[in-house]
Amino acid sequence: MLARRLVPLKARFARLLRRGAACEDPKVAAFCRNLQSLWPALWRFGTCEVEPTNNAAERALRRGVLWRKSCFGSQSGAGLRFVERVLTLTETARQNGVGALDYLTRAIVASRSNTSPPLLLSAH
């Protein structure tokens, strides 16, 4: 398991941070103290299932980036807000296996009938 293999590295790094925190250079000492305060987060990858890349986020943004490039973006603040909301809706719907157009239709019907909007996020 990765967590066990990290034990010697964590111990060595902890010793180096202690030495750095006691350093005479105030910038080095502050940097080391800051890293010490973030200690659990520094090693989370060793105990949690975390994808080591941002590929999922990159893939989620790709459609919007390509769309924006092909239609030259938006010319107003209202247009930018509309685009960001629609792109967010379509990507969230795609990730949750919901049809974006179907969701929008149900949301508009709910709004016009003064009922609660449909849920877009799955419960997992």
pLDDT tens-digit readout, 77-102: 898 888 888 888 888 898 888 899 99
pLDDT tens-digit readout, 12-65: 999 999 999 999 999 999 999 999 999 998 998 888 776 767 787 788 888 878
Structure tokens given for 38: 């973030």
Contact (Cβ atoms closer than 8 angstroms) between residue 94 and residue 59: no
What torsion, rounded to 10 degrees, do the Cα atoms 44, 45, 51, 55 define? Answer: 90
Closest CA to 100 of 85, 114, 110: 85
